[in-house]
Chains A and B, each alone.
Chain A
């Protein structure tokens, strides 16, 4: 296998794997702090138990998040030495600030998890706050690096007069960064909220309708709903940013093969890059022009403005985008269904509602992963958009396929062990209840 292909696959699944855990790293602390805070303010004791159970699950997820993140930090160099040679000194400013966020997160996670008997109740609750801030800050900061790869502000000076390249401005005055940071961080909150709702809804379907399950579901749905509603709004901002900075990616997302005024919005469908057509799509006339530029008559640049060799993988980008948006809209529907049910049905949780809630977690993670596929695959063949080709960044080392297989097996092992252990945490939850 070619180095480029092997390295891309390895990077893709390491990032995809990390993302599963990182999302909880952003969302879980917020839920723990909410639950423990409610218990502190005189709420029922099962809120405290929730915080403790979630803390345990979070300990496991955080550790795997940390090791898979370490793998990423190594692999950026090991797989993409050319990229790091060009851009290491620029993106380092983002990673260095992120490292301090990691420190804060890791330190206070230690205090939180092991400090139940050493700190006062208020003191313990307070150690949760820096975890929340650290998790969100590390997500937002690492995204500054990715946003720069999408829209490399200042790259011209990096190439021509490296001595004048100023990393802080390049990373943090990039207009693409806040847009991405917002959408990507809220996505992590949505994924955590919906996944917990899935867990509690599954428990209830198996007849465990105790207070812990009800309270857990309620807190999870508060987070899930708030973030689900924000996803289409921030996603629209992301779409407009892509239209402005990466016209080729937008064209791939929408399968817009030719440059056109009043471009239609295509919903669903399977693009055929050879024939330059899209099959089975529902077309809304002028929809894309309107969404991207606010005028239904606006001109949208198509894939035809670049050589075919410079196209990203159009079917993958397009289908991933459709899946993310579709999942995002379904998530909003599920959240509204829950609150409608709680209001007008007096809170009786029907089996059909619980069934819908069970689907929420997987949908959110599908959206999260396909969203990153859109972003990363849609950027190809560039690693730094318009500046450095992915093929020029890859390592010259040998036998990449062997490493790829090795890491794939390793992640498989870690993934299955985590799931097995999490189920133990879940099953032990009643034991915790008895012990207290």
Chain B
């Protein structure tokens, strides 16, 4: 029954789905860190409070998507994983450092009745580590597409294209976070976050244009595939959704703007995956060529639906309890 199933392709789809989830959920938490670092204006303290409240109950669950993704990679594509962890040794260590620091800093600064507070060193660490980590994640992803030798550091993850991709990731997650935050704030604070979102949207647009301009030179295959007829539609859809999201925010349609923002980034990630196909790391590592044996892939993938049966209702409960309503005073601690 399962004989005809192309297991490596299914594995890749599952990995891209997990990547999408991490980008939409974990990515927004990175964006929250960006806005924490760059909070300015008279309501800066309020902004930081809103960010901390929005993230508090959900960030650990969102973080697990990264772990899940990492596990999927080494389980389903051990050969490509082997290349990545050796070739990107330095940036991945830096990503890890950033993740450790931001996670620890987030709880450290929130801790205690009279918390150490967002302005403390730990508060700034949270923002700075979040921002740098996103840039590095974006740059590492670009390195898998540019065809450079992963072991020559400046050729792969420090190339102009990689850095622009990193900056795009930074502004895109900041955009996403700000659109989420508009719905968790009211009054003036909501306006502030809307203005922040628009700013980040403009920055993301600029980075996208720059990236596209560099792509023919630094990631020529990715570029050719992106403009090929079978992928171009997806890429244009992403651009259209992005413009729609920006316009809705402008018009004060925060809810629509947020949904379109999430859709934009998802479709954009899928266009990358489609353009990257059949490679996982270009050149040299294809999805089919670097997958684990079919039996192992099949066994691990059959665990996934069982896991999702537990996970999805729990996630629904989490978001049902904490999202879609404004935060309550005292959310961070017991008051009964």
Contact = CB atoms under 8 A, between A and B. Distances in A.
A66 B296 contact: no
Given A114-B57, A114-B332, A70 B66 contact: yes
Contacts of B63: 66, 70, 106
Nearest to A400: B89
Interface string B289-321: 000111111011001101100110011011001
A77 B85 contact: yes
Interface in A403-436: 403, 406, 410, 414, 417, 421, 424-425, 428, 431-432
Contacts of B75: 88-89, 91-93, 95-96
Interface residues of A, number: 74
Contacts of A97: 303, 307
Nearest to A123: B321
A99 B64 contact: yes
Interface string B21-56: 000000000000000000000000000000000001
Interface stretch (B99-107, B173-181, B278-286): B99-107
Nearest to B297: A89
Contact of B293 (A73, A102, A163, A397): A163
B111 A102 contact: no
A63 B64 contact: no
Contacts of B101: 410
Interface string A53-87: 00110011011101111110111111001001100
Contacts of B296: 89-90, 92-93, 162, 165-167
A237 interface: no
Given A56-B333, A85-B79, A104-B310, A77 B74 contact: yes
A109 interface: yes
Contacts of B318: 107, 110-111
A107 B99 contact: no
Contacts of A68: 100
B292 A89 contact: yes
Contacts of B106: 63
A108 B322 CA distance: 12
Contact of B321 (A77, A119, A424): A119
A340 interface: no
Nearest to A77: B85
Contacts of B332: 114
A99 B68 contact: yes
A106 B113 CA distance: 22
Interface residues of B, number: 69
Contacts of B81: 77, 84-85, 88
A102 B62 CA distance: 11
Contact of A106 (B60, B71, B93, B96): B60
Interface string A136-173: 00000000000000000000000000111111100000
Nearest to A51: B334
Given A67-B100, A96-B300, A397-B89, A424 B112 contact: yes
Interface in B166-184: none
Interface centre among B58, B66, B310, B333 (most CB of A within 10 A): B333
Contact of B76 (A56, A89, A130): A89
B74 A71 contact: no
Contacts of B328: 117-118
A13 interface: no
Nearest to A127: B317
Nearest to B110: A59
A163 B86 contact: no
A52 interface: yes
B104 A102 contact: no
A67 B70 CA distance: 14
Interface SS, B side: helix
Interface SS, A side: helix
A41 B300 CA distance: 42
Nearest to B63: A66
Contacts of B108: 60, 417, 421
A130 B310 CA distance: 11
Contacts of B314: 103-104, 107-108, 130
A61 to B, nearest CB: 9
A106 B61 contact: yes
B228 interface: no
B112 A428 contact: yes
B99 A88 contact: no
B85 A114 contact: no
Contacts of A111: 57, 317-318, 321
B112 A163 contact: no
Interface centre among A107, A403, A431 (most CB of B within 10 A): A107
Nearest to B97: A410
7 contacts: A48-B336, A64-B104, A67-B100, A81-B82, A84-B78, A100-B310, A165-B293
Q: Which 10 A-B pairs have the closest CB atoms?
A: A92-B75, A89-B292, A100-B307, A110-B57, A88-B78, A106-B60, A63-B107, A114-B57, A77-B85, A88-B74
Given A63-B103, A66-B63, A75-B96, 9 more contacts: A81-B82, A89-B78, A97-B307, A103-B310, A116-B335, A130-B314, A165-B293, A167-B296, A424-B112
Interface of B: 56-58, 60-61, 63-64, 66-68, 70-72, 74-76, 78-79, 81-82, 84-86, 89, 92-93, 95-97, 99-101, 103-104, 106-108, 111-113, 122, 292-297, 299-300, 303-304, 306-307, 310-311, 314-315, 317-318, 321-322, 328, 330-336
